[in-house]
Structure 1
């Protein structure tokens, strides 16, 4: 039986300590899918439809580290709209250093790409996702999505990737990322996309922040799907901040 790790105080950790604690497995042979979420103590994933109302300084600090380590940031279309997603803005010096040491990053410090999953390619070409300066966004969609929608997004600067006939499959998503050598995957939601990945058995780990507040209301949980797929996980670490924020990293039991 694996022992539960002792909680570590965030104030005891420097920037390099956090990088070491969240580094992806070395040289993953296929896309390794890490999911990052924040929830309230009572399980709410948003406040008034957005996750920002749950945020804390500790969560924002780790959020930045997770993005610095990733090759690609995958997000569902609903979350991209609700959170007004733009390009990822990361620490270019850190990403150059990570690449030098074989931990990902990029030789020129370039930021990770944003990949939005949408079965219908229904995104606003004028939104921040396409107008913000940064890496070229990917839109992962289906062969049945409107050709006009796809062309409008191509004209806005997106790379269109078809990864399924009428829905984006987990296999199609992984194959598309592998073809582009994007193996350190950070999925930032939403709950439906997370639920689909769990159901497909494709979640390698979850980084979960528990925000020190109660919300109630009708907010959803962090993962939803038509079918349950119990997936054993084990806790790699718990980090606590003085305001009560708890940051945890959970890895699938057969993942090394």
Structure 2
């Protein structure tokens, strides 16, 4: 059964209420994919989005305490540091100090660097929890999401399916090692008049 995307933002927020977990951060991932499995169009995930997807994106951020994202996605999608939620960046190197990321009158992002090696994402999540960030929204990219999934750290996946074919060699929403072929539990499927599907899945 596919329900229609609620036109009211309060009702939409109710459908996407971010769960909590006892004693640890609850990790929700949010991604978008084309019908042929690409996570980008013309090199950016924003190229796949529509009005409804932007509403869901905004509501998911409102529900979260912190957004967790990889440095490559920050660069490719031209991220800025939002007033809410906080922004945490995972990188193997350095993050460029752009005005959007380091505004003169705003909060700076948290940066977790592996110094050329992999970042221990369990330690990242533990540190975020110690800082009071209980609800984590992982926005990619595919490498970060793959690493989180490989370590069993994703509790819920929100996946928008865009009604378009893009071809090319765009990456999927997940890259990295093979993952266990476990079945995820479907929580909901919403749709809109543009043909987008908004799905939620739990481990």
TM-score bracket for the superposition, by shorter chain length: over 0.9
2:143 aligned with 1:175, yes or no?
no
Report what 2:75 is aligned to.
81
> What does 1:81-120 correspond to in 2, within 5 Å?
81-89=75-83, 111-120=84-93
User: Does 42-51 or 19-28 show the bigger shift?
Assistant: 19-28
Identify, as 1 or 2, the structure richer in helix: 1
Map Cα deviations across residues 15-55 of structure 1 (whole Å, 9 max, x no partner).
22111111122464311110000111111101121111101
Q: Alignment RMSD, CA only? A: 1.6
2:199 aligned with 1:227, yes or no?
no
CA shift for structure 1 position 134? 3.7
With over 3 angstroms needed to count, the CA separation of the structure-2 counterparts of 1:66 and 1:132, relative to structure 1, is farther
> What does 1:56-205 correspond to in 2, within 5 Å?
56-89=50-83, 111-120=84-93, 122-131=94-103, 133-142=105-114, 144=115, 166-205=117-156
**Equivalent residues, number:** 203
CA shift for structure 1 position 170? 2.0
From 153, 156, 159, the equivalent of 1:208 is 159
With over 3 angstroms needed to count, the CA separation of the structure-2 counterparts of 1:248 and 1:18, relative to structure 1, is same
**In 2, distance between residues paired with 1:35 and 1:133?**
29
Give yes or no for contact 1:112–1:135 (8 Å, CA) kept in 2: no
**In 1, distance between residues paired with 2:3 and 2:178?**
35
TM-score (norm 2): 0.94
Q: Which has the larger radius of gyration?
A: 1
Map Cα deviations across residues 157-213 of structure 1 (whole Å, 9 max, x no partner).
xxxxxxxxx321121111111110111000110000000011001110100001111
**In 2, distance between residues paired with 1:233 and 1:127?**
40
With over 3 angstroms needed to count, the CA separation of the structure-2 counterparts of 1:180 and 1:14, relative to structure 1, is same
TM-score (norm 1): 0.75
